[in-house]
Structure 1
Amino acid sequence: MMRGTTSTVGVVNFITFLISIPILGGGIWLSARANSTECLRFLQWPLIIIGLSIMVISLMGFAGSCYGLTWLLKLYLFAMFFVVAALLFFIVFAFAVTDRGHGEVIINRSFLEYQLSDYSGWLKDRVSDPGYWAKIRACLRDGKACKGMARYVRDPNTGLLVPESAQMFYQRDLSPIQSGCCKPPTSCGYTYVNETLWSPTAGAVVVGDPDCSRWSNDQQVLCYQCDSCKAGVLASIKHSWRKASVINIVVLVILVIVYVIGCAAFRNAKRIENDEPFGESRMTKSRPSRFQF
């Protein structure tokens, strides 16, 4: 019976070890996106730490079950409780800070446009902070976030490759960062030359929109100073964090089930451990002596 309980605890810990892999993978995925596109290095580290913690804790519980170390199993369950609580807090926090903000539909455009005024809360304040935005802006510029926008088509008359037409560009599905940071807002009325080169149209600029004056054809500037760029970064972060949170919700449910099974197995092991000496004592007392007359 004790051996069966120990095997159950071992299997449970092996499952928790497997669960840590997608959590750690989610943190690494967010880290890769932060390095390449979003440039906001924050939420990936809690995920990586939680994933590594579950790995270490599951190995701790596995060792405790194999060697019958009750104190180690108790420490395992105690630590796992805080990991589950931390993962739950992480999920709630991710949804709470990304609950607002969405792209705006523009007539005759397939892509969405983003406005900073649609967002609010801690994440907006964090991204909009001048000192922090300077780092994000430098990351976007150095990472050449707008470099992949260029597309060329072959001119049927000359056979040469030329930039795609404005109508072709307007039908593209741009990412939030491409829409917010790599072109001026549609409301500014700029004339399309190519994806990152626009010429102002006299009298078409909307008065009161500061992003119109912030746009520059300098490829190192573009609209990296624009509020629309900040909104695009927020939209991209929201998409990534929500996607990671959905995976973490599934992992959390499985982790809670595994934790409950581990608690039940631990209680069963403790009960057997407490009952065995008593049972052996009773058998010893009731066994008749061979030399009794």
Structure 2
Amino acid sequence: MAASNTITALVSLVALLCSIPVIGAGLWLATKHGSECVPLVRWPVVIMGIVLLLVSLAGFVGAYWRRQRLVAAYLLAMAALIVLLFVLLTFVFVVTRPDGSYAVPGRAFKEYRLAGFSPWLRDHIISSPHWSQIRRCVSASNVCTKLSQEQYFNPDHFFQADLSPLQSGCCKPPTACGYGYVNPTLWINPASPAADGDCYAWSNDQAQLCYGCGSCRAGLLGSLRSEWRKASIVLVATAVALLCVYVAACSAFRNAQTEDLHRRYKQGYV
């Protein structure tokens, strides 16, 4: 292979390796409690990672066997994927910027309210026709079961626990309701509960708990926000690496075109 084609093949391999953290981040998101119950956000990153892997493989094949048209198609597809990745990251940062959590005095964990999250999240996830399915998924998960199995010696021990957004929103009543603690998923009704719909929606039935509460919906959004923010760290690093790889691949492709033109000139074809 000419030097330029060799460089293109190498950077295609680097791009192929970059697809691994993208697929890994997607799989991590797909298995987290928040994302696994929301079809809309579960698989896009995995699909993008697989497409990136296939495109990079095509670029390597084209460079190795000097198929310039295939390399050109690879560069166009890679440009589209990089733009799509940056658009996705920008969108994620915009819609997850508002944080619906708020601190509760005397509690180590935070609680969540729907009004604190972006309208897009509320409209496309919580208010979507799929909410009943999402609720059943959260209820069937081990989020609250795992919490109920934890050993807390007294209420103060529980109040200092580091609960996830879903555990805080779905597995216990909001602190403002004034319920008395028995265990993480069993609470004593107050004589005069606060005038809040969530206070009446709470049930000690382990199949109900606070899955019908607004705080549970907010906890789901808090979980999604946290998971996507963590995954975005990997995706940003990968996007920057891909951009550098793409610039190197474009330079190598241009040099390969020049080398091919010179070769054809010497052979009398031009």
Give the TM-score range, shorter chain. Answer: over 0.9
1:21 aligns with 2:10: no
Matching residue within 200, 209, 217 for 1:222: 209
1:167 aligns with 2:166: no
Give secondary structure in 2 for the equivalent of 1:68: coil
Q: C-alpha displacement at 1:116, in angstroms?
A: 1.3
1:105 aligns with 2:103: yes
RMSD: 1.7
Question: Larger relative contact order (C-alpha < 8 A, sep ≥ 6)?
Answer: 2
Q: Is the 8 A contact 2:35 2:42 kept in 1?
A: no
Q: Which residue of 2 aligns with 1:231?
A: 218
Q: C-alpha displacement at 1:150, in angstroms?
A: 2.4
Matched residues in 2 for 1:43 and 1:258: separation?
28
Matched residues in 2 for 1:100 and 1:92: separation?
14
Count of matched residue positions in the alignment of Structure 1 and Structure 2: 269
Structure (1 or 2) with the larger CA radius of gyration: 1
Matching residue within 183, 199, 204 for 1:194: 183
Q: Is the 8 A contact 1:38 1:233 kept in 2?
A: no
Matched residues in 1 for 2:102 and 2:164: separation?
13
Matched residues in 2 for 1:136 and 1:77: separation?
39
Matched residues in 1 for 2:35 and 2:19: separation?
25
Stretch moving more, 126-135 or 14-23: 126-135
Stretch moving more, 132-141 or 177-186: 132-141
TM-score scaled to structure 2, two decimals? 0.94
Q: Which residue of 1 aligns with 2:146?
A: 148
Q: Is the 8 A contact 2:100 2:114 kept in 1?
A: no
1:177 aligns with 2:166: yes
CA displacement 1:14-55 (0-9 Å, x = unmatched): 100000000011111111115x77511222322112111111
Give secondary structure in 2 for the equivalent of 1:108: coil
Q: Which residue of 2 aligns with 1:5?
A: 4
Q: C-alpha displacement at 1:126, in angstroms?
A: 2.2
CA displacement 1:151-200 (0-9 Å, x = unmatched): 565xxxxxxxxx63111111111111101000000100011111111111
Stretch moving more, 71-80 or 94-103: 94-103
CA displacement 1:221-243 (0-9 Å, x = unmatched): 00000000011000000001111
CA displacement 1:93-117 (0-9 Å, x = unmatched): 1112111123211111111111112
Give secondary structure in 1 for the equivalent of 2:43: helix
Q: Is the 8 A contact 1:166 1:192 kept in 2?
A: yes
Q: Is the 8 A contact 1:191 1:198 kept in 2?
A: yes
* Structure 1 residues 235 and 38: CA distance shift in structure 2, 3 A: farther
Q: Is the 8 A contact 1:126 1:132 kept in 2?
A: no
Matched residues in 1 for 2:140 and 2:43: separation?
22
Aligned-pair identity in percent equals 39
Q: C-alpha displacement at 1:130, in angstroms?
A: 6.0
Give secondary structure in 2 for the equivalent of 1:64: helix
